[in-house]
Amino acid sequence: MALSKNVGTCFLCHKIISNIKIARHLNDCVKKDAEINSKENKPTKIFRIKIFSNKTFWLYVEMPSDASLQYLDDFLRAIWLECCGHLSEFNVLGSGRYSKNETIEHIFKKGIAFSYEYDFGSTTLLQGEIIDCYYGHLDKKIRLLARNNMPVLKCTTCSSRSKYICSSCYRLCCSQCCQQHKCAKEGMLPIVNSPRMGICKYMGELEETRETN
Ligand SMILES: [Zn+2]
Ligand SMILES: [Zn+2]
Ligand SMILES: [Zn+2]
Ligand SMILES: [Zn+2]
Do 87 and 174 belong to one domain? no
* CA 89/CA 211 separation, integer angstroms: 27
Q: Are residues 125 and 54 in the same domain?
A: yes
Domain span holding position 36: 7-148
Ligand nearest to the CA of residue 167, numbered in listed order: 4
Q: What is the pTM of this model?
A: 0.91
Q: What is the pLDDT of residue 212?
A: 46
Do 98 and 172 lie in one domain? The reply is no
pLDDT value of residue 211: 46
Confidence at residue 137, expressed as pLDDT on a 0 to 100 scale: 86
For residue 158, tell me if it sits in a domain: no
Enumerate residues 6+ apart whose C-beta is below 8 A from 1: 56, 153, 154, 172
Return the pLDDT at 83: 94
CA distances (Å), origin 95, targets 87, 102, 113, 120: 20, 14, 10, 20
Query: How many angstroms is it from 85 CA to the middle of ligand 1?
Result: 33
- The pLDDT of residue 76 is 98
Output the pLDDT for position 32.
Answer: 84
State the pLDDT at residue 209: 56
Among the bound ligands, name the one nearest to the CA of residue 22: 1
How many angstroms does the Cα of residue 110 sit away from the middle of ligand 4? 42
Answer whether residue 17 is part of any domain.
yes
Task: Please give all residues whose CB falls under 5 A of ion ligand 1, grouped by chain where several chains appear.
Answer: 10, 12-13, 29
Residue 46 CA to ligand 2 centre (angstroms)? 32
Overall number of domains in the chain = 2
Spatial strand order in the sheet of 124-136: 16-18, 7-10, 143-148, 57-64, 44-53, 124-136, 113-118, 88-92, 96-97
Which residues are placed with Cβ below 5 angstroms of ligand 3, an ion?
155, 157-158, 174, 177
Shared domain for 131 and 195, answered yes or no, is no
Please report whether residue 127 resides in a domain: yes
8 A C-beta contact, residue 66 and residue 76: no
CA 53, CA 123: separation in Å to the nearest integer? 12
**Do 11 and 97 fall into the same domain?**
yes
Report pLDDT for 34.
Answer: 79
User: What's residue 9's pLDDT?
Assistant: 98
Whole-angstrom distance, CA of residue 163 vs CA of residue 174? 5
Helix (H, G, I), strand (E, B) or coil at 136: strand
Do the domain assignments include residue 1?
no
18 and 115: one domain? yes
User: How far is ligand 2, taken at its centre, from the CA of residue 52, in Å?
Assistant: 20
Please report, for the domain that includes residue 144, its CATH number: 3.10.290.30
Indicate whether 2 belongs to any domain: no
Q: Are residues 109 and 53 in the same domain?
A: yes
Rounded-to-integer distance, Cα 141 and Cα 173, Å: 39
Same domain as 182, residue 107: no
> Mean pLDDT of residues grouped by 10 in the chain (213 residues)?
90 96 96 74 90 96 97 97 96 90 95 97 97 92 97 94 95 95 92 95 76 45
